[in-house]
Each structure stands twice: as structure tokens, then as C-alpha cells.
């Protein structure tokens, strides 16, 4: 089954961005590559606020022709525009639809509010984090409270240059059918 | 110089405890030992709220004869009582005093509010975290906002059984004297 992977770079204190959306604190170590991750996915999902930041940073346009990209929004009309598909379904209904079609894994790329919606609905199957060695002290959290407790299993823990580490976790749904 | 080490076990979403102070989600992997860490310290510092939780969990008493233990409190009178020393100095003044005396490293054991005070005053020299593979979804954060950005260098990253990892960081104070 196509897995939903929450994948992001964060600060040591758990922020995906500065209060203004800036991600200048993140870096790509020379001994690290996102290529293996990108080979496992064909779809990206983000929240509307994350799109707004991406648009601001990208000079008004955002599209990635290599990935089917969906944007969750309550305010924007659903449908295909500018290489993106706007969605206003519930995460559960949307993922159910997506899984009916064959494909690779689904990258939940942020932000925190959408991650929380997905965690509330227990739709996150894997977490893939890159943690950089800085405390920002303030910012946009990856895991904004509240959502129900979710157990995971550590799949991989790797160290890269300049002190970035990557952690990969898999959701463990013990006793789900009891 | 005696270093201040912020050392704690946390959930993957950065909580040191549940909202009620409970730490039942933490565990001690059988292949992990805190002994090497304890050999490097002779002093422990905590906030008054953390003491209250420790007292509640410990049935009304808390003391560790192997460590000189200081409790920061604005409400309680300073001085030695029940094996603890209550302090109402500023963290900066207190650490300056402590460093005048020879000794081992100083363990800042929590909670989040005291960690923030120490980070604001740039008194944290090392961070030593054990991260367990669970998202609590709510709780008492290790790094409550806001405090100024602080850069660190990764010293060690280790994986233990049941998916606990330990991360050790050292504060990097670049250009501090410029």
C-alpha cells in the first residue's frame, strides 16, 4: 500500500521554519542526498500556508513537474491550477481516494497544521526527519499540539557532515483491530 | 571549566513530560547506561515545578546524596532544606559562583522553563538528549519559545534498543567576542 511519509528538515527544537516561513537555517550536507527518498515517492501534499511561503520564496510560482502536487485549502476552490491540485476534502477521504490508484509513496511535506490533521486522523505511516544542530528559539513547529499519542518504530538513524542527522520512523499500530 | 549540561529524555515531539508531569513514556533500553554521564557530573539543577513533580512521584521526598542538588525558585525562601539547596539568584550569577569552586560538570535536569532561562542567558554548554520513538501530541516542552537562536555542534549520535537514540551537542559560540 502507498505510504504517507511526513518528511521534513527541522531545527533541534522542532521547527520547520522561522516565524516568517524562512528556512535559511536548513542546509544540505555534501555527503547527503535526497535522491533515494525522491525515488520512493511520486506525490506531494502540502498545506495552503506552506504553499504561500513556497510561492513567496519562489518569486510567485511553484510547481514540480516530477511530482503530483496537492494543496489542502479550506479557502481556495478545489481543482487543478498552475501545476497544482487544490483539495478541500478531509485528509482521510483524500488519502483513501489516492490509495485506490497505483503509485509510489506520498510525501507529506508540511506544514505543521496539516501534519497535525494527518496525525489526528492517524494517516502518517512514516516519518523522515533531518535535524540540524541549531536551536531557533521560536518558529513554526512540526508537531503543534494537540493530537493523540502515536507510537513509532525507529527504522534508521544516520549522521552526516556538519552535524545533520536523519531519522526514519514507521508507525506502529498495535492492537488496532482489537 | 565546569560545563552546564542540559540532559533529558524526551519524546520525538520534544516533550519532557505529559501535561501532568508524567514520564511513563520514557524507558531505559537494556543496552544503555546513564553511568558514564553520571561520572561526569557532581551537581544537579532543577526548577521548582520539576521538584514538585519529583516530590509527587517520589511520595513526598526527593534527595540524591550523590549530587549537590539546587532548586531554582522565585516563591520559596533560599537556603538548604531536606538535602536540597533552594536558590533565587539569576542563573548567570549562580553559575558564576558555582564555577569559582572546583568540581565536575553541572547537570541542568529541567524543566523547560528553567532550560529557557539558561538558554536566554547562554549558559548551556552541552545538550544530551535521549529521544524515544513516540509522539505524545501534548505535554511539557523541553524548549519552550522564545529564546535567542543558539548554534550547536553534534558530538555523538547513538542508537539503542527499542529505538531510543542519544544525541550529544556542544554549544558553538562563534564570533562571541566581536
Q: Which three cell numbers stand for residue B158?
A: 547513538
How many other CB atoms are there within 10 angstroms of residue B6's CB atom?
25
Contact A143 B169 (CB under 8 A): no
Answering whether pTM is above 0.90, one says yes
Q: Is residue B36's pLDDT more than 90? A: yes
pLDDT at res. B178: 42
**Predicted pLDDT at A57:** 81
Report the pLDDT averaged over residues A136-162.
Answer: 98
For β-strands A4-11 and A105-108, DSSP reports them as parallel
Question: How far is A151 from chain B, CA to nearest CA, in Å?
Answer: 5
Mutate to test the interface with A, among B157, B170, B174 (most CBs of A within 10 A): B157
Closest CA to A106 of A89, A83, A123, A129: A123
Considering only CB atoms, which residues of chain A are within 8 Å of chain B? 12-14, 25, 119, 127, 133-139, 142-143, 145-154, 157, 159, 163-165, 167, 169
Mean pLDDT in residue range B92-110: 96
pLDDT at A60: 81
From the list A133, A137, A154, the residue facing B154 with the nearest CB is A133
Strand partners, B7: B128
Mean pLDDT, chain A, as a whole number?
94
User: Contact A153/B163, CB-based, under 8 Å?
Assistant: yes
Name the residue of chain A whose CA is nearest to B137's CA: A147
Q: Could you tell me the three cell numbers for B84?
A: 536540597
Burial class (CB in 10 A: 0-12, 13-18, 19+), B122: middle
Residue of B nearest to A167 (CA): B165
Q: What is the DSSP string of A106-149?
A: EEE---HHHHHHHHHTT---EEEEEEESEE-SSSEESS-S----
Question: Min CA distance, B37 vs chain A (Å)?
Answer: 21
pLDDT digits over A74-118, tens only?
999 999 998 999 999 999 999 999 999 999 999 999 999 999 999
Interval A5-64: pLDDT, tens: 999 999 999 999 999 999 999 999 999 999 999 999 999 999 999 999 888 887 888 877
What domains appear along chain B, each with residue ranges and CATH number? 4-27+47-171 (3.40.430.10)
Percent of chain A with pLDDT strictly greater than 70: 98
Amino acid at each position: 500500500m502507498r505510504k504517507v511519509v511526513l518528511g521534513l528538515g527541522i531545527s533541534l527544537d522542532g521547527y520547520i521554519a522561522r516565524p516568517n516561513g524562512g528556512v535559511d537555517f536548513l542546509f544540505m550536507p555534501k555527503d547527503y542526498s535526497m535522491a533515494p527518498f525522491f525515488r520512493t515517492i511520486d506525490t506531494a501534499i502540502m498545506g495552503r500556508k506552506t504553499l504561500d511561503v513556497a510561492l513567496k520564496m519562489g518569486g510567485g510560482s511553484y510547481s514540480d513537474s516530477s511530482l503530483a502536487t496537492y494543496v489542502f485549502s479550506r479557502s481556495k476552490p478545489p481543482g487543478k491550477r498552475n501545476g497544482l491540485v487544490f483539495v478541500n476534502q478531509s485528509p482521510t477521504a483524500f488519502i483513501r481516494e489516492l490509495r485506490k490508484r497505483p503509485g509510489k509513496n506520498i510525501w507529506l511535506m508540511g506544514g505543521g497544521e496539516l501534519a497535525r490533521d494527518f496525525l489526528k486522523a492517524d494517516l502518517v505511516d512514516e516519518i523522515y526527519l533531518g535535524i540540524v544542530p541549531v536551536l531557533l528559539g521560536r518558529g513554526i513547529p512540526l508537531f503543534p499540539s494537540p493530537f493523540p499519542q502515536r507510537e513509532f518504530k525507529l527504522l534508521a538513524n544516520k549522521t552526516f557532515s556538519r552535524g545533520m542527522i536523519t531519522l526514519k520512523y514507521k508507525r506502529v499500530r498495535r492492537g488496532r483491530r482489537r
